[in-house]
Amino acid sequence: MKYTTLPNTNIKVSKICLGSMTWGNQNTEAEGHAQMDYAIDQGINFIDTAELYPVPATAEMSGRTSNIIGTWLKKTRHRDKVIIASKIAGPGDYTAHIRTTGFSPNAIKEAIDLELKRLQTDYIDLYQLHWPERDTNRFGIRNYEHDTNWKDNFNEILHSLDTSIKEGKIRNIGLSNENSWGTMRYLEESKKHDLPRVVTIQNAYSMLTRTFETDLAEVALRENVGLLAYSPMAFGVLSGKYVKGNAADNARLKLFPRFARYSGEKAAEATKRYLKIAEDHGLTLAQMSLAFVNQQPFVTSTIIGATNLEQLKENIDSIHVNLSEEVLDKINETHSVMPNPAP
């Protein structure tokens, strides 16, 4: 395994982060525990969850993923061996079953306290805002529509998080599904008012979705805010199983076809081109896809997700793959012809 540190901290994390959003839905508690056992044995020390998980989000299953991590922590007593990241859900129709108060001070306090109980721990190493409160381009939305009803509350949010840091409940803070303006506003507020500084941003990034490079990559590098890249496999599309027609019946996009972000014709065509590059160079598409993300200078850790141990092994092994300049050039040639075919 390879390691780095969360920016502006002394917290060492593995370059591969174990994602968990299938645990409690597609995966049982026993399977989630087995994945964590295997990941720890391979040197992974970084686990990401959220109060929203598992996905798809429902009132019946909300928080179940974190409960699974909590029972594993209690059973193994491995709390000192892992860095735990979690998130407070943003507002929206699909989170009304959690709360409708956004990132108000009481909401942040409640969310953290409940998550600590589920995780059966006294502290969370990295606490993230799952998506912005204001309506903006997130989750693949490309056409910006200005939200005139939103009231600026960056300072209030940072003060609330600062209270939880001082209480010892969380150690560091991060963003997720945020854009450049929002990221810079948080950085500005923390600098002006001596408030906690965001250390990471968790956004989608893969060969099919490289919009992070448009302007957030420069923010990440110049401001030292590390990307935690999620969906590096584009919901499994970049395994090649869908274009090959051999996806199992329990594959994510077969179970939940409404998650169509990476399922369009252009994304399929781009995937076929990337598959050929991988095969021409003796690589699996999955490992080429993950290695591409791992090698980006603005990426602090790549969040992988798997529904079985075979997939998990292949994903983790990608850390040992170093793409040559020739392969990277071929990937970039395809990207120049078909840029960001998935939003």
For residue 278, being part of any structural domain is answered with: no
Residue with tokens 């721990």: 121
Backbone angles phi, psi at 83, to 5 degrees: -100, 120
* pTM score of the predicted model: 0.95
Q: What is the pLDDT of residue 140?
A: 73
DSSP H or E segment with residue 156: helix 154-166
Rounded Cα–Cα distance for residues 314 and 132 (Å): 33
Q: Count the Cβ atoms, other than its own, within 10 Å of residue 45.
A: 20
Count: domains in the chain:
1
pLDDT surpasses 80 at 340? yes
Q: What is the pLDDT of residue 15?
A: 98
| CATH number, domain with residue 39 | 3.20.20.100
For residue 13, being part of any structural domain is answered with: yes
Average pLDDT of every residue of the chain: 94
Please identify every residue annotated as catalytic.
53
Q: What is the mean pLDDT of residues 256-260?
A: 67
Question: At 196, which amino acid appears?
Answer: P
Q: Is the dihedral of CA 338, 296, 309, 281 positive or negative?
A: positive
Contact (CB, 8 A) for 199 and 126: yes
pLDDT surpasses 90 at 242? no
**Tokens linked to 194:** 């001596």
pLDDT surpasses 80 at 252? no
Note the pLDDT tens digit of each residue in 262-305.
888 999 999 999 999 999 999 999 999 999 999 999 999 999 99
Question: Residue 143: which pLDDT band, with cuts at 50, 70 and 90?
Answer: confident
Strands (E), 177-279: 198-204, 226-230
Question: Residue 258: which pLDDT band, with cuts at 50, 70 and 90?
Answer: low
Question: Residue 162: which pLDDT band, with cuts at 50, 70 and 90?
Answer: very high
| Sequence-ordered list of residues with C-beta below 8 angstroms from that of 27, at least 6 positions apart, any chain | 35, 307
For residue 243, being part of any structural domain is answered with: no
Question: Residue 253: which pLDDT band, with cuts at 50, 70 and 90?
Answer: low
Give the residue, 258 or 240, on which the prediction is more confident: 240
* Exposure string over 145-162, b if 16+ CB within 10 A, otherwise e: eeeeeeeebbbebbbbbb
Q: What is the pLDDT of residue 158?
A: 98
pLDDT surpasses 90 at 117? yes
Question: Residue 142: which pLDDT band, with cuts at 50, 70 and 90?
Answer: confident
For residue 244, being part of any structural domain is answered with: no
For residue 198, being part of any structural domain is answered with: yes
Angle at 123 (CA atoms; ends 120, 124), nearest 5 degrees: 100
For residue 267, being part of any structural domain is answered with: no
Question: Residue 254: which pLDDT band, with cuts at 50, 70 and 90?
Answer: low
**CA-closest candidate to residue 126, choices 85, 176, 79:** 85
**SS3 (DSSP) at 171:** strand
For residue 337, being part of any structural domain is answered with: no
Q: Count the Cβ atoms, other than its own, within 10 Å of residue 272.
A: 14
pLDDT surpasses 90 at 243? no
Full residue range of the structural domain in which residue 39 is found = 3-238+284-320
Q: What is the pLDDT of residue 251?
A: 65
Q: What is the pLDDT of residue 246?
A: 73
Lowest mean pLDDT among 36-50, 250-264, 299-313: 250-264
DSSP H or E segment with residue 19: strand 16-19
CA separation, residue 47 to residues 13, 32, 132, 133, 308 (Å)? 10, 12, 22, 25, 16
CA separation, residue 44 to residues 22, 54, 117 (Å)? 18, 21, 24
